[in-house]
Chain A
Amino acid sequence: MATLVAFACGSSSGPAGSKGTIKIGSDLPVCTVGGQAVQNGIQFAVNQKNAAGGVNGYTIAFQGFDDCRQGSYNADAGVENVQRMLGDSKFLGMIGPYNSAVAKAEIPIAAPQHFVMISPSNTNPCLTKDLPTCSYHPQDLRAGNANNYWRVVTTDDYQGPAMADYIYKQLTITNVAILDDSTVFGVGIAGAFETEFKKLGGTVAKHSEYKKDQQGSDFKSILLSFKNAGAKAVYVGGTDDQNICIPRAQMKQLGWDVPFTGGDGIETTDCIDQATGNEAGIYATSAGADATQVPGAAQTIADFRKAFPGPNDFGGYTMQGYDATNALMAAIGRAINAANGGTPTRDQVRSEMAKTKGFVGVIGTYDFDEKGDTSLKIVSIYIVNGKLSADQVKNSTGVCGSKTAKDACFVWKTQFDFAKLSS
């Protein structure tokens, strides 16, 4: 297996590039901790592959692009990056983007050029599935071209139900209140949660919503109405950039200590920071398997940590980035064979990527369906634990706080495998 190959750090030349160079790119918000951690995983996979002789005689050259503008992801910046990759014929595919909103802007640019995109972290279902709740449709993004987009994580429509199941069965709480941030993502994930929770037999005491611009930072009266309605937990549908974790801080002002739960929009450093002193007891789902929970992944993670020893180098989606890169390089290898050993076209790589079957990755063994979704439908549950030791923080697979509580991190609890549950 690949993990047996000794990783030679810093080796610049080798027997690899006898036939030339093939470029792969990435488009990630590198200014963020999460984006940089994914880029590390890609770099690691490419270094490993080159050290082992490259892909069918070609050296893989990796170039990372940054889609940050003013400190956070930006769809326009992402589109510019994709256009730069499309302008260089040596680029045969890319890893990314990190954010669903960026993917929505990039797929229409890349699809006509048959340019392979593999996202390590996009969870919005509408990128691949035509659901009634979607405000845009996968077929429109691709505009009649063959699918060029894949992702190695599962989608939000599994996240809400996973948390509903966890609260009802594992925490044995039957009465919850829901708060959503009125965004497409927030309303969608909160709705999926509510439907499943009621189906299980639970009660939704109250469902409130807010708009960031109107609400400011004040959620105390909303929370009080939840408490008085008899809720024993809060589920939030939303993201940290909409202040969704500020209510957690204000639960202190009410003296109300119940679980605060949500989707991957709150499995973030910013969420822990917003909770200011009330971090412990935040539960979040993540659309994907925790890399530490997959048998055989431990060795790769240990090798990675040796090569990238920094405390923030390894993040929740690093191994997803690593897998996506290996899936792409495997498709490039098959495309080289299809081109009789010569440099393949982008369409040949795209067509080989679509044929991926039984890919053995670090986060599991999986296929992709014709829409680009993975057969691996795992949702992980994390909880914030405070007062962790320095070593625990360093080795955490979940993100940690950066302001009030630097020693509070998301710690993996359990996972749901929807592929097994449905079959």
Chain B
Amino acid sequence: MATSVSALTRIRSARLAGMSFTDYGFYVLCGTAIVLLATQAVIDPRTFFQVLDFGIADGAIYALVALGYTMVYGIIELINFAHGDIFTLSAVIGSAILGFFAVNESSFSLADLLTLLLVFPVVMLIIGGINVTIERVAYRPLRNAPRLAPLITAIGMSFTVEGVMYLWHGSAIIHFPDLLPHGAGFQTYIGGVFFTFKDVFVIVAAVILVSLLAVFINGSKLGKAMRATAQDRDAAQLMGIDINRTISATFFIGAVLAAAGGIIYGLYFNNLDYHLGFSVGLIAFTAAVFGGIGNIPGAALGGLLIGLVKAFSDNYIGSRWTHIIVFSILIAVLVFRPTGLLGMRVPEK
């Protein structure tokens, strides 16, 4: 008899009502979650939509970080563990710049607004440069080494970046100025749901950035080169694409998104510490896997969904269960749909 077929393969190849068993399991899980949430939405729509608002705002920030993970994985199959710390570093640098210009939180002036607008490009450039340097120093020399080697240097870079922030600020909470408009004129109830300018700002900013990225990847020459390199590095090189430059560009763009995410995080939460990148990075990485690692729309969707899962879990189930639920979802996705929600995009081997 065909005993050589493993149990897992048999389960995966089993079919039920025209669908594979794993697909079936996946849809059952998703369906259950949707029914449970829909019930809550009917019972208490105000709470449901309020949590939805919080979840989308948080998810938008996770999405910006997840994009950096997925872009780097897509192009060189490396999980850049330093990415979460790059995100934190951008918020710390942003806070330092705003502090240097002595931005006054209590009487916000036009000059302060200009400083705030300037902080975004300046921090993006600095962080982009740092991430490109990290790639040049820690990953490029190991590009043809066994895949475990760059993974270890990535962990090393993560600790290095954290260490720099620790030497700079210690373990104390780092304050980020509260510069987004807030107060009575910038908040309102719509249908019993409380909206603040801050929530809207985060969501709008993230949507703009992700749209710009999509346009860039699909429309520009460099974007095309990135897609080609991700698909087949050797063939791309034969076509005359400068591989090193393309990979550097990928790290740069990933860092720019993380930098934007870091400043948005700072403006939204106003408090951070040197260790923040660990938890945000872990969640964002989960989001990238959830959406399908290497898949850019997948990372954006995954970030959004993880933000929602966290918010719903915190509110309906209890904060002590949140991490368990997030990582159970990761395991369920890996078992039932190993390629993530929108499918993996990795080089064909």
Using a CB–CB cutoff of 8 Å, the interface residues on chain A facing chain B are: 70-72, 208-210, 213-218, 220-222, 224-225, 228, 240-241, 243, 246, 249, 252-255, 270, 273-274, 276-277, 403-405
- Per the 8 Å Cβ criterion, residues 298-330 of B in contact with A are 310-316, 318-320, 322-323
Q: A72-B172, A274-B271 are in contact. Are A225 and B314 (CB under 8 A)?
A: yes
Q: Which of B49-57, B129-137, B210-218, B239-247 lines the interface with chain A?
A: B49-57
Q: Contact check, B271 vs A243: say whether CB atoms are below 8 A apart.
A: yes
Whether the Cβ atoms of A252 and B175 lie closer than 8 Å is: no
CB of B173 within 8 Å of the partner chain: yes
Closest 5 CB pairs of A and B: A71-B170, A221-B314, A70-B170, A217-B269, A221-B315
A to B CB contacts below 8 Å, 9 in the list: A70-B167, A208-B318, A215-B279, A218-B310, A220-B311, A221-B55, A221-B315, A222-B315, A270-B173
Given contact pairs A218-B310, A243-B273, enumerate 19 new A-B contacts (beta carbons under 8 Å): A71-B171, A210-B319, A214-B279, A214-B322, A215-B279, A217-B271, A217-B272, A221-B54, A221-B55, A240-B173, A241-B172, A249-B270, A253-B198, A270-B173, A274-B173, A276-B175, A277-B182, A403-B177, A404-B270
A92 to B90, CA, bound (A): 50
Which chain B residue lies CB-closest to A216? B279
Establish whether residues A209 and B189, one from each chain, have CB atoms under 8 Å apart when the complex forms.
no
| B172 close to A276 (CB less than 8 A) | no
Chain A residues lying within 8 Å of B162, measured Cβ to Cβ, are none
B310 contacts A221, C-beta separation under 8 Å: yes
**Residues in chain B near residue A216, CB distance under 8 A:** 276, 279-280
Q: Could you tell me the distance between the alpha carbons of A209 and B280 in the complex, rounded to whole angstroms? A: 19
CA distance in complex: A15, B167 (Å): 48
Which residue of chain A has its CB nearest to the CB of B175? A403
Contacts of A253 in B (CB 8 A): 54, 194, 196, 198-199
- Inter-chain contacts of A270 with B (CB < 8 A): 172-173
Are A218 and B173 within 8 A (Cβ)?
Answer: no
Question: Given A208-B318, A253-B199, A72 and B170 touching (CB < 8 A)?
Answer: yes
- The answer to whether B278 has its CB under 8 Å from any CB of chain A is yes
What's the Cα separation between A254 and B54 when bound, in Å? 10
Chain B 170-195 near chain A by CB (<8 Å), digits 1 or 0: 11110101100010000101000010
Q: Smallest Cβ distance from B317 to chain A, in angstroms?
A: 9
Task: Chain A residues near B194: list those with CB within 8 A.
Answer: 253-255
Which residue from chain B places its CB closest to the CB of A226 in the assembled complex?
Answer: B315
Residue pair B320, A224 in contact (C-beta under 8 Å): no
Q: Are A222 and B271 in contact (CB under 8 A)?
A: no
Q: Which residues of B contact A241 (CB under 8 A)?
A: 171-173
Residues of B contacting A217 in the complex (Cβ-Cβ under 8 angstroms):
265, 269, 271-272, 276
Closest to B326 in A: A214
Complex CA–CA separation, A208 to B318 (angstroms): 7
Expressed in whole angstroms, the minimum distance between the Cβ of A389 and any Cβ of chain B is 15
Residues of chain B within 8 A (CB-CB) of A276 are 175, 178, 270-271
Residues of A within 8 A of B140 (CB): none
From B50, B166, B187, B189, give the contact of A224 (CB < 8 A). Answer: B50
Provide the residues of chain B in CB contact with A240, threshold 8 Å.
173
A220 CA to B54 CA, complexed, in Å: 7
* CB under 8 Å from chain A, chain B span 143-189: 166-167, 169-173, 175, 177-178, 182, 187, 189
Give bound CA distance, A345 to B30, whole Å: 74
| List of B residues within 8 angstroms of A273 by Cβ | 173, 175, 271
Chain A residues positioned under 8 Å from B171 (CB to CB): 70-72, 241
Interface readout for B32-64 with A: 1 if CB under 8 Å, 0 if not?
000000000000100100110011001000000
The residue in A216, A224, A403 that gathers the most chain B C-beta atoms within 10 A of its C-beta is A216
Cα–Cα distance between A270 and B13 once the two chains are bound (Å): 57
Q: Smallest distance from the beta carbon of A201 to chain B beta carbons, Å? A: 26
B196: chain A residues at CB < 8 Å are 252-253, 255
Q: Which residue of A lies closest to B199 (CB)?
A: A253
**Interface-central residue, B172, B187, B273, B278, by most chain A CB under 10 Å:** B172
Q: Flag B257-296 by CB within 8 Å of A: 1 or 0 each.
A: 0000000010001111101101110000000000000000
Q: Does B105 belong to the interface (CB within 8 Å)? A: yes
Chain B CB within 10 Å — which of A243, A253, A276 has the most?
Answer: A253
Smallest CB gap from B315: residue in A: A221
The closest CB in chain B to the CB of A255 belongs to B194
* Minimum CB–CB distance for A403 against chain B, Å: 4
- Closest beta carbon of chain A to B310's beta carbon, Å: 7
Inter-chain contact A224/B173, CB cutoff 8 Å: no
Check: B6 CB closer than 8 A to any chain A CB.
Answer: no
Q: How distant is A13 from chain B, measured CB to nearest CB, in Å?
A: 40
For B3, list chain A residues within 8 Å (CB): none
Q: Is the CB of B189 within 8 A of A255?
A: yes
Is B106 close to A, CB under 8 A? Answer: yes
Distance between B276 CB and nearest chain A CB, rounded to angstroms: 7
Contact between B319 and A224, CB atoms less than 8 A apart: no
CA distance A114 to B149 in the complex (A): 54
B319 and A209 contact, CB distance less than 8 A = yes
Question: B47 to A215, Cβ gap below 8 A?
Answer: no
When distances are taken between beta carbons in the complex, the residues of chain B under 8 Å from A404 are 105-106, 175, 177-178, 270
Complex Cα distance, B50 from A222, in Å, reads: 12
Given known contacts A252-B182, A274-B271, is B173 in contact with A209 (CB within 8 Å)?
A: no
Cα separation A273 to B176 with both chains bound (whole Å): 10
Q: Which of B54, B105, B171 has the most CB of A within 10 A?
A: B54
Distance of A252 Cα from B315 Cα, bound (Å): 17
Q: Are B178 and A213 in contact (CB under 8 A)?
A: no
If the complex has contacts A70-B170, A255-B194, are A221 and B51 also in contact, measured as CB distance less than 8 A? yes
Known contacts A208-B319, A214-B322, A270-B172; A249 and B314 CB within 8 A of each other: no
How far is it, in angstroms, between the C-alpha of A220 and the C-alpha of B51 when the chains are bound? 8
Q: How far is the CB of A237 from chain B (nearest CB, A)?
A: 14
Which residue, B169, B177, B318, has most C-beta atoms of chain A within 10 A? B318
